[in-house]
Structure 1
Amino acid sequence: MAPGTRVPVRRPETLPAATGNAGGRSVLEGAFALLEAVERAVEAGPTRLAADCGLPKTTAYRLLEQLADLGAVERCGGSYRVGPRMFRLGSAWQPHPRLRAAAREPMRRLAQLTGTTVGIAVLWKGETLMVEWCPDDQRPEPLGTRMTWPWFTAAGKVLVATAAPAPLLGPLPASWSRHADTIREHGAAFDREEVVTGVCCTAVPLLGVRGTPVAALCVLTDPAHHLERLAETARRTGRVISTGLRRR
């Protein structure tokens, strides 16, 4: 079905109850497992998505059709991809209620001043999740549209080092304690092509009430830039954003 085609929406009473069972799990669990599988695959048919989620194909197809009727996924021929309703709902999420308002203008100025891409990231399930970009159409080419990365990005490292209590990430390298002390001392972490070849990054924490880290401000660039100089500029911007987060 072509994008934009209008689809009759089923009445709510035709949807399965949240306490139902989908392949040994609740309907909500099955639906969210399918949404995550669609996000990972970008676009895929019901057979592959059912296999990825461990659901019977008939159950997966039924849930996918209901999700498509609600706009959570979008039909594309015999395949499915993330729908506009999920994009709208996901775009509204932020780790702090004032984060976007406090960060928007300082991020724009930082990107213009440094000629780099600026982002905001949080830790989510042991990974670095990027939640904001500036400019939003000029990410470093190797990153593509991917939103999650290993925890040991610059953003992940600065958040793990400043978090209290420390997040549960499993065994950490023996050198991590010393490395975390350095990050806390300098107020910044670095990634020198450790995650993606051709992309370097420095990150500083964004602090809310009582100095609790809310997110990390990241400056992404190529290996030719001097990361320590970028870190000083990022720290100044981070202090401005943190002040905005603490305002009543």
Structure 2
Amino acid sequence: MEKKYWVPALEKANDVLLLIAEAPSSLKLIDLSKRLGINKSSMFSLLSTMEALEWVVREEDGTYSLGNRLGLIGNAFFKQFSLIDLFRKEASAVKLKLGETIQLAKLEQTDVLYLAKEEVPSPVRLASEPGKKFPAHSTALGKALLAMLPPDEFDRIYANETLEPCMTPYALKTKRELRSQLDAIRQNGYAFDLQEAVVGFCCVAAPVLNLRGEAVAAISCSMFQHVWEEKKELAIREICALAKRLSHGSLS
């Protein structure tokens, strides 16, 4: 968007909400003011307005947390995706069979946006919470979705040869490397992330297609690197089969 149409007050409100979301019930007005470089009177006006709109809640100790209205908006966002309900139903059995977490995401430019996950108990919790974004080139989910893009669309969103950011030392670093992998992904029907998003974790993903054969989302299974070779083949079969079942129910 051109800056001449920009509304600075909305940008400031957005910054406040993001900061509160990172540390709910931890920051007072003065803390928010200092961290964001917004003077106290302006911050007071912003917080008062957002409190009245139920975007934020002021706790008894003067700290702020997110309000109910944002919860309603968030739920409305995810309700747009009927695929999520189908995913939860179908993926619950797959996660038990594999003993690993199953994730659903969609592509947003050069990122993947996580929509839902079916999680198994683990001492390490994956950072792929619904609403979280990761660079598409560093995830199996992202690569499975990028492989389904028309070549001109791929070149549009990846205008530069260098891929950034690189989440780990194992991540792909150039568009040429990524394009080479996408060719193989299209042939195989699934994609891998070999410690590219998080060191110590490997992942397999497959695209979910609509009736026109377009990828509307992707699903993945993530696991510790030390069990990858043991479970890889079973995970490939289960994820590809799950993707086909979800594709049959995906009309968007």
2: CA distance, partners of 1:244 / 1:124: 22
User: Whole-Å Cα distance in 2 between the matches of residues 119 and 108 of structure 1?
Assistant: 11
Tell me the equivalent position of 1:114: 98
Report how far residue 109 of structure 1 moved. 1.8
- Aligned pairs for 1:231-246 (under 5 A) are 231-246=236-251
Q: How big is the shift at 1:69?
A: 3.2
Query: What does residue 168 of structure 1 align with?
Result: 157
Q: 1:179: Cα distance to partner? A: 0.8
2:120 aligned with 1:131, yes or no?
no
What is the deviation of 1:204?
A: 0.9
User: Which amino acid counterpart does residue 183 of structure 1 have in structure 2?
Assistant: I
1:95·1:214 contact (CA, 8 Å) conserved in 2? Answer: no
Please give the TM-score of this superposition, normalised by the length of structure 2. Answer: 0.75
**Which one is further off, 225-234 or 161-170?**
161-170
- 1:129 and 1:100 mapped to 2: Cα distance? 13
Give the drift of 1:129.
Answer: 2.1
State the shift of 1:48 in Å.
4.5
Do structure 1's residue 157 and structure 2's residue 143 form an aligned pair?
A: yes
Q: CA deviation at 1:239?
A: 0.6
Question: Structure 1 residue 35 and structure 2 residue 35: aligned?
Answer: no
Q: Aligned partners of 1:39, 1:227: CA distance in 2, in Å?
A: 36
User: Displacement, 1:158?
Assistant: 1.4
Secondary structure of 2:182 counterpart? helix
RMSD: 2.8
**Aligned-residue offset at 1:238:** 0.4
Offset at residue 68 of structure 1 (A): 2.6
Matches of 2:127 and 2:15 in 1, distance apart? 23
* 1:1-248 pair list within 5 angstroms: 25-42=7-24, 43-50=26-33, 53=36, 55-76=38-59, 77-94=61-78, 97-124=81-108, 126-135=110-119, 138=121, 141-144=124-127, 147-151=132-136, 152-164=138-150, 165-166=153-154, 168-171=157-160, 172=163, 173=174, 174-223=176-225, 224-225=227-228, 226-246=231-251
Letter of the 1:234 partner, please give it. I
Partner AA of 1:74 in structure 2: V
If the length of structure 1 is used for normalisation, what is the TM-score? 0.76
Structure 1 pair 155–145 and aligned structure 2 pair: CA distance change class (3 A): closer
Q: Indicate the structure with greater helix content.
A: 2
Q: Quick check: 181-190 or 40-49, which moved more? A: 40-49
- CA contact 2:84–2:115 (8 Å) conserved in 1: no
Shift, 1:54, TM fit = 5.4
Instruction: Tell me the distance in 1 between the aligned counterparts of 2:143 and 2:79.
Output: 18
Deviation at 1:199, TM superposition (A): 2.3
Dislocated runs of 4+, deviation >6 Å: none
Give CA-to-partner distance per residue, 1:118-137, whole Å, 9 cap, x none. 111123353322110113x7
Q: Is the 8 A contact 1:190 1:201 kept in 2?
A: yes
% same residue: 26
User: Unaligned 5+ residue runs, structure 2?
Assistant: 1-5, 164-173
